[in-house]
C-alpha cells in the first residue's frame, strides 16, 4: 500500500547517490512503497556512474514489485569510493524479492557491516497497529541529521504532514543523539513508512511509539559501537534549551578522553567538565553538578568521593553520567560508547 513517509539524510557534503535520490523523492511528496538496501558498498563519491547505478537499483526493484521506480527508496552502506556492481544488483534483487516475508530478522541481518548484533525494536499501539524498526550502524557514527541506516515501518494511520513535522524533533532526540567516533557518515538515512492498514490511530500515541522505537535503535547503535565494551549514557539537565542540552550531552559522549576513561573504569570527571566547557553551551562551572553512576563527584567545586567505589560502579555494561548545568530547565540525553584498542584495530585495516 502507498505509505505516508518521512525521511532524514546526512548533511555530509560528500553525499551518497542513494541519499541524493532519497532527498529528491522526499521533496516530490510522492508516496512510497518499498525500500531497497545494499550493504558492503556505500556508492558514494562515485560520480555520474554511481548515480546511474543507484537509479538502476530502484528500477530493478520496482520491476520485481510491479511499482513505479519513484515508489522505491534506495539505501547503501559500506566502503566509500568504489563503483557498485550492477550485475550483482541484477542477480541479488530478484533473490531478495523471492525471500520477502514478514520477519524482520532477515532484513536486520542483511544490512549489517561491522555491526556485531542485529538491531530491531517494536511497539504495539492500543488499536493493534504495530511499529517496527530496524537499523544498522557501528562506525562512522556521529549525528548530523540521521545516523546510518534506520527504517521504521508501521501500519498505523498517520497524516503525512503530521509525521513529517514531528520527524525532525524525533530524529534530533534519537539518532542525532548518538556518537561513536565523531565521523558523520556519507550515507546516513532514516526513513519511516506508515501505510495506515491498521485504520484510525491516535497520532500522538503513534508518534510516541515511533520515537520510542527509534530511541531503542539509537541506543543499540551506541552499544554496538566499533570496539565498544560499554554503552555510555549522558544526561544533561538544567540547560538553557533542549538544543543546548543535546549539544552538551553529545560533546561529553563524544570526548575521546572521557570515552577512554570509561573503558578504564576511571571516574575522571575533569574530562567531563572539559568536554562541557568546549561544547559551545553557556554555563557557569561554579553552578554545575556532575554524577557518575549516581555518585556525586563535582558541585561547583571538587567533591570528596571514594574513587575505588566509583571505579567499581563503572564496571557495568552501561555507564550513566548526569550533568546539571544549573543554567535553566531544559534536558537532553545522548549515547555513546567507550573507546578501546578494538576500535583502533577494526579501523586500521578495513579496505586493504
Q: Active-site residue numbers? A: 147
Q: Which residues pair with 232 in a beta bridge?
A: 319, 336
Question: What nine digits make up the cell of 230?
Answer: 560499554
Q: Please tell me whether residue 140 binds a copy of itself under the rule CB under 8 A.
A: yes
Among 23, 31, 39, 45, the residue binding a copy of itself under the rule CB under 8 A is: 45
Residues 212 and 125 sit within 8 Å (Cβ to Cβ) = no
How far is C-alpha 109 from the geometric centre of its chain's CA atoms? 16
Query: 3-class DSSP state for residue 64?
Result: helix
The reply on whether position 151 binds a copy of itself by CB under 8 A is no
Scan residues 189-248 and list those touching a copy of itself (CB under 8 A): none
In the window 247-306, what residues touch a copy of itself (CB under 8 A)? 254-257, 260-261, 263-271, 273-279, 281-283, 285-286, 298, 300-302
**Binding segment toward a copy of itself, per CB under 8 A, in 135-143, 154-162, 217-225, 237-245:** 135-143
Return the residue of 111, 152, 190, 339 that touches a copy of itself, per CB under 8 A: 339
Site for a copy of itself, residues 159 to 188, rule: CB under 8 A: 181-186
Binder among 55, 82, 104, 112 for a copy of itself (CB under 8 A): 82
Three-state helix/strand/coil letters over 255-291? CHHHHHHHHCCCCCCHHHHHHHHCCCCCCCHHHCEEE
Q: Which is nearer to a copy of itself, 61 or 288 (CB)?
A: 288
Q: Which residue is associated with the grid cell 541519499?
A: 19
317 binds a copy of itself (CB under 8 A): no
User: What number of chain residues touch a copy of itself (CB under 8 A)?
Assistant: 73
> Residue 69 or residue 182: which is nearer to a copy of itself going by CB?
182
Edge-first strand order for the sheet with 289-292 is 295-299, 289-292, 318-324, 231-239, 330-337
SS3 content of the chain, % helix, strand, coil (to 5): 40, 25, 35
- Minimum CB distance to a copy of itself, residue 345 (Å): 7
Amino acid at each position: 500500500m502507498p505509505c505516508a513517509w518521512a525521511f532524514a539524510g546526512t548533511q555530509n557534503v560528500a553525499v551518497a547517490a542513494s541519499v541524493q535520490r532519497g532527498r529528491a523523492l522526499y521533496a516530490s511528496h510522492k508516496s512510497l512503497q518499498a525500500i531497497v538496501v545494499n550493504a558492503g558498498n556505500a556508492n558514494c563519491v562515485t560520480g555520474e556512474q554511481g548515480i546511474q547505478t543507484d537509479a538502476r537499483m530502484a528500477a530493478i526493484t520496482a520491476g520485481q514489485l510491479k511499482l513505479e521506480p519513484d515508489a522505491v527508496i534506495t539505501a547503501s552502506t559500506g566502503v566509500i569510493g568504489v563503483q557498485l556492481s550492477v550485475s550483482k544488483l541484477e542477480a541479488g534483487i530478484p533473490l531478495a524479492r523471492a525471500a520477502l516475508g514478514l520477519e524482520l530478522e532477515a532484513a536486520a541481518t542483511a544490512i549489517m557491516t561491522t555491526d556485531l548484533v542485529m538491531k530491531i525494536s517494536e511497539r504495539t499501539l492500543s488499536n493493534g497497529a504495530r511499529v517496527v524498526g530496524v537499523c544498522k550502524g557501528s562506525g562512522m557514527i556521529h549525528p548530523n541529521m540521521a545516523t546510518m541506516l534506520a527504517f521504521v515501518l508501521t501500519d498505523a494511520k498517520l497524516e503525512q504532514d503530521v509525521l513529517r513535522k514531528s520527524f525532525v524533533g524525533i530524529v534530533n532526540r534519537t539518532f542525532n543523539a548518538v556518537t561513536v567516533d565523531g565521523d558523520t557518515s556519507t550515507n546516513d538515512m532514516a526513513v519511516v513508512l506508515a501505510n495506515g492498514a491498521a485504520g484510525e490511530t491516535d497520532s500522538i500515541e503513534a508518534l510516541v511509539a515511533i520515537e520510542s522505537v527509534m530511541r531503542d535503535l539509537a541506543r543499540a547503535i551506541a552499544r554496538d559501537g566499533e570496539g565498544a565494551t560499554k554503552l555510555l549514557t549522558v544526561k544533561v539537565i538544567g540547560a538553557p534549551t533542549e538544543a543546548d542540552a543535546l549539544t552538551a550531552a553529545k560533546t561529553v559522549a563524544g570526548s575521546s578522553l572521557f570515552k577512554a576513561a570509561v573503558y578504564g573504569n576511571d571516574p575522571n570527571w575533569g574530562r567531563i567538565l572539559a568536554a562541557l566547557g568546549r561544547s559551545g553551551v553557556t554555563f557557569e562551572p561554579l553552578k554545575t553538578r556532575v554524577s557518575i553512576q549516581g555518585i556525586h563527584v563535582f558541585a561547583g567545586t571538587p567533591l570528596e568521593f571514594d574513587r575505588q567505589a566509583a571505579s567499581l560502579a563503572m564496571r557495568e555494561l552501561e555507564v550513566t553520567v548526569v550533568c546539571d548545568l544549573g543554567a535553566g530547565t531544559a534536558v537532553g540525553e545522548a549515547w555513546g560508547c567507550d573507546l578501546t584498542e578494538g576500535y583502533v584495530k577494526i579501523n586500521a585495516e578495513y579496505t586493504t
